[in-house]
Structure 1
Amino acid sequence: MTSIGGAEMVDWNLAVATATRLVRPGPEISREEARAVVAELRRHAKASEEHVRSFTRMIPEGHEPEDTPVLVVDRAGWIKANVAGFRELLRPLLGKMQDRRPGGPGGAVLGAVGGKVTGVELGMLLSFLASRVLGQYETFAPATRELPASAKGGGRLLLVAPNIVHVERELDVDPHDFRLWVALHEETHRTQFTGVPWLRDHLKGEIQSFLEETDVDPMTVVERLREAAQTLSGAGRPEGERGEGEGRSLVEIVQTPAQREILGRLTAVMSLLEGHADFVMDGVGPEIVGSVAEIREKFQQRRAKGASRLDQALRKLLGLDAKLRQYRDGERFVSAVVGEVGMDGFNRVWTSPNTLPTKAEIASPADWIARVHRKPES
């Protein structure tokens, strides 16, 4: 994969090894308890299918969408799955960077060193995330011997058992209710992608367009990072004269103008998907999750405060605060639209890329309703 002289641009094996070595151990649990948790999560994932489909009405009656596997994994399994996904998504960008690498032995040596450094950095990032993710629908996941995926180009649902157990204990909530509540959220993501055939390719196209705009010239990247650091620190500017980048994450600031435009569209789509999952989770929850109100309240408090100051700093640096805003803003959008035009009216959002909300419409649901539901002029 993207190598010169045998040196890969990213040492993927080193990324897995680093992340697996650095990730925190999971909660203490006996072998029998672990087996029971895995079996229960699989049952909940299966049961959630019917509940989510009935509530969302995204899957027409009698239609069976593409089947995607449900995998209950540990933290190391989540790391391996995500490295495989990154490798698939970044393939075009790494090929582009390979073309810009100096030729000859010097370029090969630089590539070997750079690939290992990047592998370690990616591993450190994944070790941070691996203990925090409860579940994930992997949209672009390639199938491997250890991690199967759907037959039509990827897709699998991951439930990270040790993290779910850790959070249910931390929140002191009913473990059976919490596991079902998490399964409902992740099953909604699976329903979104299996019930909307064009969504996967659309999202992949946007991500590839974003990557194609990446500046691969090292000096350009260094200059952009320098500007970003100045923006974050406010260096050389008196109070009241700080630029529009103030308050944004480093991830946002280093983007090119074209990337910011694409990122706006991606943010809108991700806000829709995450908000819809939260809306469905809470909509279905009262019927089958007895303690859903307590779970939601405690979980929202946990989301808002973060685990520590270090956790908050890393979330800001990596742009993960934007993820939290996506849940909140997206759910407000879905709730407002369903309240105004009903579930079937909301489901027009899945008609085509043109009916997806813009970033501005996520903040103003009435504008989306006016655009998509406006009556044709007579």
Structure 2
Amino acid sequence: MTSTPANNDDETPKDPLSEMLANLMGGQGMEGFDPAALAKAAGLPDDPQALSALFAQVQAMMSNQSDEPVNWELAHDNARQAVAGGDPSVTAAQSREVDEALRLAELWLDPVTDLPSTGLIGRAWSRAEWVEETLGTWKRLTEPVANSIAFALSNTLSEQLPEEMKSMMGGASSMLQNMGGALFGMQLGQAVGALAREVVSSTDIGVPLADLQMALLPANIAVFGEGLDLPEQDIRLFLAVREAAHARLFVQVPWLRGHLLGAIESYARGIHIDMSRMEELARDLDPSNPEAIQAALSEGVFMPQRTPEQDAALTKLETALALVEGWVDELSFEASRNLPSAAALRETVRRRRATGGPAEHAFGALVGLELRPRRLREAATLWAGLKEQRGIAGRDAIWQHPDLLPTADDLDDPSGFGDRRKLLDASDSDVDAALEKLLAGDFEQSPDAAAQADHQDDGETDDGRDSPGASS
């Protein structure tokens, strides 16, 4: 039996694929539609809950009308969904414990650093609150590579369509563009949500994700302490000292947050998508496996080998991260010496930061960057040596300007940096003293300069001509 085409209110012709997708995703003409039958035909599992979530995600991909290439709303929703199960609300008792721990941490830090207290109020966050407070910074850090992947996905999907389908695309081409941004948004949201289950504080990954905040996550601290056989109060207090130390550094050194985030953005902008890998995936994509592209994203298959410029940028970034973590590591241990478990907790945190958790690895594969301070121990040794040579104030003065910071080469020889810094300080002091004398009019001329002045007085002007009255 021949079906009669539906009449349109307007006379604008619609391409078949666009009309089909619009009807399917918009819910029009869906009477009698059987999702289970469609799923069976596509080879999808017959799970009503999974199917409902899948169709909701596909509808979001197709209906996104944002001008941005990445669907950040979908990233937010997926991050919240990733922490929805097993995210207990913070109790009043937990808030009080976190507040007391951070207040005590500030007192312990006062004698071991020249940087003053921040005056920030400590917070206890749930995982969902961590997502809300940090997602804006995640967007800033990942936007360069996210845009590249979204555009590459949409272009590749379009190019891999058979010729007979390209003529049918019409208005559906924008849907493919939306799909590219949505796929990355979904994957990013899941990665951020997974991180929310691992981090113990607002600065746990060494970067200030939440501006001017000081917070701990009680649920994750409990997970962190599993198997350590240490008092819960000691664990919370040690992590509070680390959070308070991070907060002092980022608040009292105003240029540092922008320096770190800028280095990450600069590295991300240099990432170029491996189009050959993406085209290979598109050719081999199995329509019955809707998770294939997301799996490829999570495995980082689109990330090419780094260029020499990227290697240099990564070295600079990793050095900055190591310097921050090394300073925090050294101060936290000094401030917590009266905790019997301080040494054990310090080593646990060091290993955790050096290796990274599963979620951190997944996020690194997605955006081509793992925010791990690989040289934390060398940096901690460098800061300890500076304290012995220059004292607390001299050590912390290194943070006055980014040009004063140690380099990757300095981390190769931490003990020698102090001696090199002394030479630079002495040189700077000589220049400053000379300028002060010059400005005060007390500058003593060198013998050569004095002789030249006498010669000029005897018969030559400054321009070399004989002065009036001089003998020829």
Length-normalised TM-score, structure 1: 0.71
Task: Supply the distance in 2 between the matched residues of 1:204 and 1:316 (Cα, whole angstroms).
Answer: 16
Tell me if structure 2 keeps the 8 A contact 1:7–1:112.
no
Number of the residue aligned with 1:139: 208
Number of the residue aligned with 1:336: 385
Task: Supply the distance in 2 between the matched residues of 1:163 and 1:39 (Cα, whole angstroms).
Answer: 17
What value does the CA root-mean-square deviation take over the aligned residues?
Answer: 4.0
Task: Supply the distance in 2 between the matched residues of 1:257 and 1:345 (Cα, whole angstroms).
Answer: 35
Deviates more, 1:316-325 or 1:14-23: 316-325
Number of the residue aligned with 1:121: 187
Deviation of 1:133 after TM superposition, in Å, equals: 0.9
Structure of greater Rg:
2
> Out of 254, 275, 279, which is 1:219 matched to?
275
CA 1:311–1:189: 2 relative to 1, 3 Å? closer
Cα deviation code 1:1-31 (max 9, x no counterpart)? xx9953542222322332333348558x8x8
Deviation of 1:282 after TM superposition, in Å, equals: 0.6
Number of the residue aligned with 2:122: 70
Task: Supply the distance in 2 between the matched residues of 1:34 and 1:169 (Cα, whole angstroms).
Answer: 20
Cα deviation code 1:168-195 (max 9, x no counterpart)? 2432211111111101101111111111
Task: Supply the distance in 1 between the matched residues of 2:238 and 2:371 (Cα, whole angstroms).
Answer: 23
Tell me if structure 2 keeps the 8 A contact 1:215–1:221.
no
> Does 1:17 find its partner at 2:77?
yes
Task: Supply the distance in 1 between the matched residues of 2:361 and 2:256 (Cα, whole angstroms).
Answer: 33
Tell me if structure 2 keeps the 8 A contact 1:196–1:350.
yes
Task: Supply the distance in 2 between the matched residues of 1:212 and 1:320 (Cα, whole angstroms).
Answer: 12
Number of the residue aligned with 2:222: 165
CA 1:305–1:83: 2 relative to 1, 3 Å? closer
Number of the residue aligned with 1:243: none
Tell me if structure 2 keeps the 8 A contact 1:8–1:112.
no
Task: Supply the distance in 2 between the matched residues of 1:272 and 1:250 (Cα, whole angstroms).
Answer: 31
Tell me if structure 2 keeps the 8 A contact 1:274–1:326.
no
Number of the residue aligned with 1:282: 333
Task: Supply the distance in 2 between the matched residues of 1:25 and 1:98 (Cα, whole angstroms).
Answer: 29
Cα deviation code 1:275-301 (max 9, x no counterpart)? 1111111100013x3432343355556
CA 1:253–1:338: 2 relative to 1, 3 Å? farther
Corresponding residue SS for 2:374 = helix
> Does 1:270 find its partner at 2:339?
no
Deviation of 1:359 after TM superposition, in Å, equals: 1.6
Letter of the structure 1 residue corresponding to residue 249 of structure 2: Q
Deviation of 1:251 after TM superposition, in Å, equals: 10
> Does 1:369 find its partner at 2:418?
yes
Deviation of 1:353 after TM superposition, in Å, equals: 1.0
Number of the residue aligned with 1:35: 92
Deviation of 1:117 after TM superposition, in Å, equals: 0.6
Task: Supply the distance in 2 between the matched residues of 1:369 and 1:221 (Cα, whole angstroms).
Answer: 47
Task: Supply the distance in 2 between the matched residues of 1:349 and 1:170 (Cα, whole angstroms).
Answer: 38
> Does 1:55 find its partner at 2:112?
yes
Tell me if structure 1 keeps the 8 A contact 2:250–2:256.
yes
Letter of the structure 1 residue corresponding to residue 241 of structure 2: L
Number of the residue aligned with 1:79: 131
> Does 1:356 find its partner at 2:405?
yes
Cα deviation code 1:198-255 (max 9, x no counterpart)? 2223223323332333336x637859x9xxxxxxxxxxxxxxxxxxxxxxx9899643
Number of the residue aligned with 2:7: none
CA 1:41–1:254: 2 relative to 1, 3 Å? farther
Task: Supply the distance in 1 between the matched residues of 2:395 and 2:237 (Cα, whole angstroms).
Answer: 25
Number of the residue aligned with 2:396: 347
Give the number of the structure with larger relative contact order, counting CA–CA contacts within 8 Å between residues 6 or more apart: 1
Task: Supply the distance in 1 between the matched residues of 2:179 and 2:131 (Cα, whole angstroms).
Answer: 22
Tell me if structure 1 keeps the 8 A contact 2:98–2:123.
no
Letter of the structure 2 residue corresponding to residue 71 of structure 1: R
Tell me if structure 1 keeps the 8 A contact 2:191–2:363.
no
Deviation of 1:97 after TM superposition, in Å, equals: 8.0
Number of the residue aligned with 1:293: 343
Corresponding residue SS for 1:373 = helix
Tell me if structure 1 keeps the 8 A contact 2:353–2:372.
no
CA 1:88–1:303: 2 relative to 1, 3 Å? closer
Letter of the structure 2 residue corresponding to residue 274 of structure 1: E
> Out of 296, 307, 327, which is 2:376 matched to?
327
Deviation of 1:113 after TM superposition, in Å, equals: 0.3
Deviation of 1:269 after TM superposition, in Å, equals: 0.9
Tell me if structure 2 keeps the 8 A contact 1:134–1:161.
yes
Letter of the structure 2 residue corresponding to residue 45 of structure 1: L
Letter of the structure 2 residue corresponding to residue 111 of structure 1: Q
Letter of the structure 2 residue corresponding to residue 156 of structure 1: Q
Tell me if structure 1 keeps the 8 A contact 2:201–2:215.
yes
Letter of the structure 1 residue corresponding to residue 310 of structure 2: Q
Task: Supply the distance in 1 between the matched residues of 2:172 and 2:396 (Cα, whole angstroms).
Answer: 55
Deviation of 1:41 after TM superposition, in Å, equals: 0.7
Tell me if structure 2 keeps the 8 A contact 1:68–1:156.
yes
Letter of the structure 1 residue corresponding to residue 76 of structure 2: V
Cα deviation code 1:64-104 (max 9, x no counterpart)? 76x65533211122223332211234456667889998799
CA 1:196–1:324: 2 relative to 1, 3 Å? closer
